[in-house]
A = this chain, B = another copy of it.
Amino acid sequence: MNAVLSDSVDFAAWRQAKQDEVEQALSTWVPADAPAGLGQTMRYAVLDGGKRLRPLLVLATSEALGGSHQAALRAACAVELIHAYSLVHDDMPCMDNDVLRRGKPTVHVRFGQAQALLAGDALQALAFELLVPDDGSVPPDMAAQLCRLLAQAAGATGMAGGQAVDLASVGLALDQSALEAMHRQKTGALLRASVIMGAATAPVSPEALAHLGRYGAALGLAFQVVDDVLDVTADSATLGKTAGKDAAADKPTFVSLMGLAQAQDYASQVLDEAHAALDGCQLNDMAILHALADWVGRRAY
């Protein structure tokens, strides 16, 4: 049923409409007029790129629960800004030293390392600023909750911590448990937070929230397994970033751990867990969330 849903016109149309809305909002909220070219660097890092998976998760979860669209749109863009800044910093020479991202030169290649560093820093600040508008469009208790979830997902026990583990893991033979723990922080925390932040824009029962958390965690893990598969099966032009770089960097991956075919099977298995978690939610309209899980599996985007 889910495969049919994700192939349906409804999901494609929903996705396109939301991607357009997020692009428009980001273009409004990432300032062009920040001084000394910083605004242009920030916009280069954020606009016109990426599939906006994290914003789509925020919006879909909020919609499934009947949440506030204004708050969800701000949360969606805030999560995307954190993701975008992490890519800018991650690509820098002292980290992954990558030159290609979303088919374009990386930010430090285009604007220099100092601008890349500052633009990333400013994007993180802007993410939090988006969540606390002074126009009353996000109630203060919701805004504080969204800030808390985002800060926890981005910080030392979330994304930044996972990146530190990733750097420390080069050349090591991690077992599956250690590899999953690393990715649960590095990419999983922000993907899971996207779902939970979407839920935070709506009334939600503790039971539904727990199921949604499991959905987000499974989807985050599946995303990473698929990413590792694509790193060896796709070329750089298709990926829009340098292919084969994990192997070249001697980084542990699900493919290096379990082999290609088994990694592909594992991705399917984890996505089944994501669907099962949604089935436990007992909400009315979970079709888009099911479709997003299928979309992560297919990566037909």
A binding-site residues for B, Cβ under 8 Å: 31, 34-39, 42, 85-86, 89, 92, 94-95, 112-115, 117-118, 120-122, 124-126, 128-129, 131-134, 138, 140-141, 143-145, 147-148, 150-152, 154-158, 160-165, 167-168, 185
Tell me whether A34 and B164 are in contact (CB under 8 A). yes
How distant is A256 from chain B, measured CB to nearest CB, in Å?
20
**Chain B contacts for A86, CB-based, 8 A:** 121
Q: Decide if B156 touches A126 in the complex (CB within 8 Å).
A: yes
- Taking CB atoms, residues of chain B closer than 8 Å to A128 are 128, 147, 150-151
Whether the Cβ atoms of B160 and A132 lie closer than 8 Å is: no
Q: Tell me which of A34, A42, A115 has the highest count of chain B C-beta atoms within 10 A of its own C-beta.
A: A34
- Once the chains bind, are B151 and A118 in contact (CB under 8 Å)? no
* Interface contact B157-A118, CB-CB below 8 Å: no
* Residue from the list B125, B131, B147, B155 in contact with A154, Cβ < 8 A: B125
The one of B140, B152, B161 in contact with A129, judged by C-beta atoms closer than 8 angstroms, is: B152
Tell me the minimal C-beta distance from A95 to chain B in angstroms: 5
Whether the Cβ atoms of B31 and A157 lie closer than 8 Å is yes
Contacts of A120 in B (CB 8 A): 121
Q: Could you say which of A85, A118, A126 has the most chain B C-beta atoms within 10 Å of its C-beta?
A: A118
Closest residue of chain B to A154 (Cβ to Cβ) is: B125
A124 vs B144: C-alpha distance in the bound complex, in angstroms? 16
In the complex, which residues of chain B have a beta carbon less than 8 angstroms from the beta carbon of A89? 117-118, 121
Q: B126 and A164: CB pair below 8 A?
A: no
* Complexed CA–CA distance, A131 and B138 (Å): 17
Q: How far is the CB of A146 from chain B (nearest CB, A)?
A: 9
Q: Rank and list the top 8 A-B pairs by shortest CB-CB distance, nearest first.
A: A125-B155, A94-B113, A34-B156, A129-B151, A36-B164, A122-B160, A140-B141, A122-B156
Contacting residue for A38 out of B112, B138, B160, CB 8 A: B160
- Report B-chain residues with C-beta under 8 Å of the C-beta of A144: 132, 138, 140, 143-144, 147
A85 to B85, CA, bound (A): 15
Q: Is the CB of B35 within 8 A of A118?
A: no
Q: Which residue of B lies closest to A108 (CB)?
A: B94
Chain B residues in 8 Å Cβ range of A118? 89, 160, 163-164, 167
Which residues of B have CB within 8 Å of A37? Answer: 164, 168
Q: Would you give the shortest CB distance from A128 to chain B, in whole angstroms? A: 4
- The answer to whether A114 and B126 touch (CB under 8 A), given A35-B164, A121-B120, A140-B144, is no
